[in-house]
Amino acid sequence: MRTTTKHKPKSIETFKQQLLLWSQQFDDVVWLDSNSHTSKYSNYDAVLAVDAFTSIQTDYTSGFVKLKEYQSITNDWIFGYLTYDLKNDAEELESANFDGLQFPDLCFFQPKKIFLIKGNTVKIKYLNAVDDELEEDLKEIHSLTECHTERSRSAKDDEVVKIKLRIHKDEYFRKLDKMLAHIYRGDIYEANFCQEFYAEETEINPLETYNKLNAISQAPFATFLKCNDKYLLSASPERYIKKKGNNIVSQPIKGTAKRSANHNEDQALKYELKHDDKERSENIMIVDLVRNDLSKTAKKGSVQVKELCKIYSFDQVHQMISTVVSKVKKDTHPVDIIQTTFPMGSMTGAPKISAMQIIEDLEETKRGVYSGAVGYFSPKGNFDFNVIIRSILYNETNKYVSYSVGGAITAKSVPLKEYEECLLKAKAMREVLEN
């Protein structure tokens, strides 16, 4: 059981900064921030969950069964992530590529302390066992200032991060030729091909790195996640899937264009993206895939496309986003909805299984957390998960830093343009790490 308290700080933005700084003392942290990108599908402006009371960490073997059992038994708020490699549980697939990060395939925890921010109000939910700590915690949170942030920095913040490529440019083109050969042969219509950028023997300050990345990108599904010595620092623009009551929403992104400081040029770039046949065909193929995935748990006739190829603008890029909705029966288990749609269509391809097999063959890195999902389940069985893209991953013990980027390959793809799109998507992460 939880005690719920409402709190109204003088400045919600200051409180958010203090809250994230305060959270760093815990081994289990999930911070989700919409950066004021509110929509009719938003539940909260920001959420913090810290300090595991119970938890589950496992590899992909029977991963969804274990999650289903944990979610049902806990019957409480649980926060965590699903890695891309849970595809091996959802389908007869495998992951054999290099993994420098070594994250567990699935990690969720039941937090002792939760802060739900909406507007100027913070709804605080503490487990009854720790509710006597709330007053002291609030005093500590409000006492934190920028000087504490300065003291939390160390020499490693100024360390030069030397980024390496797992796949070099010429090899990227060779691999894309193989991908296109699969498409021309009819094995697949589309596949999301990704490449890793990484740094070894490198130490970063996770909170500072996240704050810099978030300041650049201001993404609607930003995440700071800490799981002991492993960190996810994300500026994701994409919602994977959300459940509220019997309503399901998925919002796949396919189609990217750069921004310009010149207003007229920026509007022209946006117009070009909206009317780009190749980008539209990518998006529509994935919308069809998402519709098919949602239909596995949907009430008959309830799957609908609410928005098709709508352009949304973010600080770094313009994105083409579609919104697909469905309705499920009351007795449908929330984990079943995720299992039957996972991994998300925007990060796989069509047909989905064939695309994932070809992706595994051509990519050099085990995706792990990248192109997985992070989010939460509520006690009522509602959930909200993002797509883990535009993200920096860090294993503090191994001193390994990684970010991956990718793009959808179709018959209309031009390899040089695909490579340039990858560099555009990588820009914010690279700027942050290289200062």
Residues catalogued as catalytic: 238, 254
Q: What is the helix (H) or strand (E) element at residue 44, kind and residue range?
A: none
Distances (CA, A) of 383 to 41, 283, 378: 12, 24, 6
**Nearest by Cα to 273 from 261, 256, 260, 286:** 256
As given in the structure block, the two tokens for residue 82 are 């699903």
DSSP string, 355-369: HHHHHHHH-SB--TT
Q: Over the Cα atoms of the chain, what is R_g?
A: 21
SS (H, E, C) 124-152: EEEEHHHHHHHHHHHHHHHHCCHHHHHHH
CB contact set of 73 (below 8 Å; sequence gap of 6+): none
Q: Which residue has the tokens 């800490």?
A: 226
Residue type, 414: V
C-alpha span between 415 and 401 (Å, rounded): 27
CB contact set of 338 (below 8 Å; sequence gap of 6+): 64, 82, 241, 373, 383, 385
Q: What are phi and psi of 257, to 5 degrees?
A: -140, 150
386 has which bridge partners? 239
CB contact set of 63 (below 8 Å; sequence gap of 6+): 82, 86, 89, 105, 106
Q: Which residue has the tokens 């691999």?
A: 175
**Nearest by Cα to 229 from 206, 213, 211, 210:** 206
As given in the structure block, the two tokens for residue 183 are 């498409």
**Nearest by Cα to 189 from 75, 287, 303:** 287
275 has which bridge partners? none
C-alpha span between 280 and 276 (Å, rounded): 6
